[in-house]
Amino acid sequence: SAMKEVDFIFHFAGINRPENEIEFFQGNSDLTQNLCALIKDSGRKIPIVFSSSVQAGSHGSYGNSKRLAEQHLLSLRKQLGNQLHIFRLPNVFGKWCKPNYNSVVATFCHNAINCIPLEVHDPDKVISLVYIDDVIKQFLLLIEGDVREKDSDGFEVIEHQYSIRIGDLREKIEAFQA
């Protein structure tokens, strides 16, 4: 019944730290497939913003489940012609991020505050970071009709992104601790 009245869908639901691998698919691709069926049944061209992950480009279970979710949404767009905005988000940092769950910055800060060593497996690995307020700002602009240019693969891009070697990030957080 909600599909009769909703004007815009922000699909942020998903699983990223399950107890078993099947939950990746239940909470990411299956949930999205069910959402698409509800939208299709409504007959409405409801715009959708989907928070996917850069991991959708990898071959792990999490990445595969997010990529399948994207495919369900792309299929829906092909059938209905609705607006679709897929964000393959990199590492997000800022308020509401949880240590040891969804943010390397939050994990490093938590560990530094609690005198837990900041473990890094590959200090030369470069990661991309986006600030949560920049992410939310771009989501809200979509409601207002401000559609930005997509990347070469057709995905939305957060305007302000930061690249840093993971070893340099560790050093910055450790400097704050000191």
Question: Which residues are known to be catalytic?
Answer: 62
- CA–CA distance, 20 with 88 (Å, rounded to integer): 23
Nearest to 90 by CA among 158, 165, 25: 158
User: Is 29 buried (19+), middle (13-18) or exposed (0-12) by CB count in 10 A?
Assistant: buried
- Return the structure tokens found at 120: 């890094």
Residue holding tokens 């969804």?
102
CB-based contact 130:158 (threshold 8 Å)? yes
